[in-house]
Chain A
Amino acid sequence: DTGVSQDPRHKITKRGQNVTFRCDPISEHNRLYWYRQTLGQGPEFLTYFQNEAQLEKSRLLSDRFSAERPKGSFSTLEIQRTEQGDSAMYLCASTSPGQHLYEQYFGPGTRLTVT
């Protein structure tokens, strides 16, 4: 257990539905990252926050995806009008540049299945 938690661990939804995932980082970490990983591939960067500010978004993050980190604590990732191609593991990670530089602590992930 790295101290980063994600909820839910598994989500099955029908195509067209909206889903929201939550990530709770290690409390003193000010940076939070979202990744998506499909079977057999490495994690793909989606977006990251420093405190409550969203500093970078990947081109992978279409208009149907939105992420927030109100108050710089937990973060949510919402996918609207889900498509079968959204089926993947969604990983959250946190880090504090003041500690071990770029050492990210990953949560267990949320596995999304779109039917």
Chain B
Amino acid sequence: LAKTTQPISMDSYEGQEVNITCSHNNIATNDYITWYQQFPSQGPRFIIQGYKTKVTNEVASLFIPADRKSSTLSLPRVSLSDTAVYYCLFNNLFFGTGTRLTVIP
């Protein structure tokens, strides 16, 4: 069964860049990597998706090395409202353990 590994928690000051890494050693050739954000008592919300190299949208960047065994979600200049749990997901079915990000004023 494919699994992912993420840090359990991270703290960051407001305005800083935050990088969250997910390890996925058993990712399959055709799997995409997707990141979600979840606030308490809400369903997860899509942030970004990629297959290889780098993807950037209006809220985040996703870096994927050539071996695709890991990925890094980068959140530029975080604000207090970015405090949430972040999950990496691949094959559309398996969520990682999640990283609880706390943004400190």
Q: Chain A interface (Cβ within 8 Å of chain B)?
A: 2, 4, 33, 35, 41-45, 48, 56, 91, 93, 95, 100-109, 111
Interface string of B85-105 (1 = CB under 8 A from A): 101000011111110000000
Q: Tell whether, in the assembled complex, residue A45 and residue B46 are in contact, meaning their CB atoms are under 8 Å apart.
A: no
Q: Tell whether, in the assembled complex, residue A102 and residue B49 are in contact, meaning their CB atoms are under 8 Å apart.
A: yes
The complex places the Cα of A59 from the Cα of B46 at a distance, in Å, of 26
Residues of A within 8 A of B98 (CB): 41-42
Give 17 new A-B contacts, CB below 8 A, not counting A56-B93, A91-B43, A91-B44.
A33-B93, A42-B98, A45-B93, A48-B93, A95-B92, A101-B32, A102-B32, A102-B34, A102-B49, A102-B92, A103-B34, A104-B36, A104-B46, A106-B45, A107-B43, A109-B41, A109-B42
